[in-house]
Amino acid sequence: MSDPYDLIVLGSGPGGYVAAIRAAQLGLKTAIVERENLGGICLNWGCIPTKALLRSAEVFHQMKHAADYGLNADNVTADLAAIVKRSRGVAGQLNKGVTGLMKKNKIDVHMGQGKLTAPGRLSVEADGKTTELTAKHIIIATGARARELPKVKADGKRVWTYRHAMVPPEMPTKLLVIGSGAIGIEFASFYSDLGADVTVVEMMDRVVPVEDADVSAFLEKALKKQGMTVLTSANLGAVEVSDTGVKAAIKTKDGTETTHEFSHVIVAVGIVPNLENIGLEELKIEPDKRYHIKVDDFGRTNVAGVWAIGDCTDGPWLAHKAMHEGVTAAEAIAQELGNKDVHPHPLDRRNIPGCTYCHPQIASVGMTEAKAKEAGYEVKVGTFPFIGNGKAIALGEAEGFIKTVFDGKTGELLGAHMIGAEVTEMVQGFVVGKTLETTEAELMQSIFPHPTISEAMHESVLAAFGRAIHI
């Protein structure tokens, strides 16, 4: 039995390692338990390496359109193995970075399968040996994995999850992507840019269904313009997987069912929390209605001293949400242990941004226009197209728009929705605005630098109140 810790974090993904670092900064004796790779899915098999893949596809796309910029780049080809190698190198670099952060902050790392055995007690199995750890508090940050479809079992050969799609055994020629959320659309964009014939099937009536309806409609048109086949309000029928490909029956919204042949399939239909065999049942930790761990606004479960954050709790299932929860939980724990100088703030779900790194990019925060109306607001909406922005035109990226939603009575910014070049970098301006409870007055009076794409943010605010300059 080791000396007791103030905090043990089970899982080292973005939520877990950030929670551990913040706890260590606050003077808590901290340990982290990880069964696979420090950094979790995000750094090793998710957010970061996928962006490396997408960057390669973006550069390749630009090279193929070099003539649009007065440049010559003939016979440009893509080396999939080299692209994947670069992506894995980026993941490895960040894994080493997290390892260094653990050492810097004097956080003990225990590699192995962790399981809660009692409040304040956790066992770690590795190489046939079991280590017993104790702590005043434990944070569960075990994340999630890809949800599978019973009729389309992933085999890593012809049927892939996102993890298989990141290290493909070969380049797909005709690819079926099931699901049009962020993961599905990003891989659809990646493989389409590299030359695959891509079909996206979505059971809802529009792609990226959590986004504003105008953004969804714009993206669908853009994907079709790029050569993808997009089938919404569609259902998957019988699927036959062979050594040479996949036959899939697809029923479209008009009721017609036809069978199509594909070289590969990516299943991107959501996630399942990693909650098996970690001791939840023994401790009687309460789940929510979606079978994630039920927590309060600071991450507390129904069992004293046991906390949970990130993808094993309620959504949205985003790395930055998990990081924020990690800091909140660590500060709340420090407060409970007697630190009077820390003042944790609960998570405000209204101000969590979402980003999708397809081409064109999507970013949003807050209510959609439809949700705001459903909530009873008298809304004012402003939209500004990238074609009216000088920097976007100069960059050759005039595809997209920015849409802002305001409370017509108070001027409160309720939501912002963006599609186009680099919007994932710009959305934080609206996030800060919402966090500061900004109204249209402050946004209108803010000076945006020229020439930048961010000027379209300003113009969309002006447009909501009939003051747009460049349209």
Do the strands 401-407 and 413-420 form a parallel or antiparallel pair, or are they unpaired? Answer: antiparallel
- The helix (H) or strand (E) run that includes residue 456 is helix 455-464
Q: How much of the chain is in helix, strand and coil states, percent to nearest 5?
A: 35, 25, 40
- Distance, CA of 78 to CA of 263 (rounded, Å): 19
What is the residue whose two structure tokens read 């695959």? 196
Count of helix runs (H) and strand runs (E) in the chain: 14, 22
DSSP string, 69-84: GT---TT----HHHHH
Residue in 156, 62, 116 with CA at minimum distance from that of residue 395? 62
Amino acid at 186: E
Of 61, 260, 359, 450, catalytic: 450
Do the Cβ atoms of 251 and 259 come closer than 8 Å? Answer: no
Q: Name the H helices within 316-381.
A: 319-336, 369-374
Q: Give ∠ CA 6-312-336 in degrees, rounded to 5.
A: 30
SS (H, E, C) 199-210: EEECCCCCCCCC
Token readout for 353 is 């941004």
Indicate if 164 belongs to the active site: no
Query: Which residues 6+ apart lie within 8 Å of 290 measured at CB?
Result: 314
Which 3 state secondary structure label does DSSP give 94?
helix
Residue in 113, 91, 39 with CA at minimum distance from that of residue 310? 39
Which 3 state secondary structure label does DSSP give 407?
strand
Residue in 15, 35, 22 with CA at minimum distance from that of residue 107? 22
Do the Cβ atoms of 241 and 158 come closer than 8 Å? Answer: yes
- Distance, CA of 55 to CA of 422 (rounded, Å): 12
- The helix (H) or strand (E) run that includes residue 433 is helix 423-435
Q: At what angle do helices 182-193 and 47-64 cross, to 10 degrees?
A: 40
Do the Cβ atoms of 177 and 199 come closer than 8 Å? Answer: yes
Which residue numbers are catalytic?
450
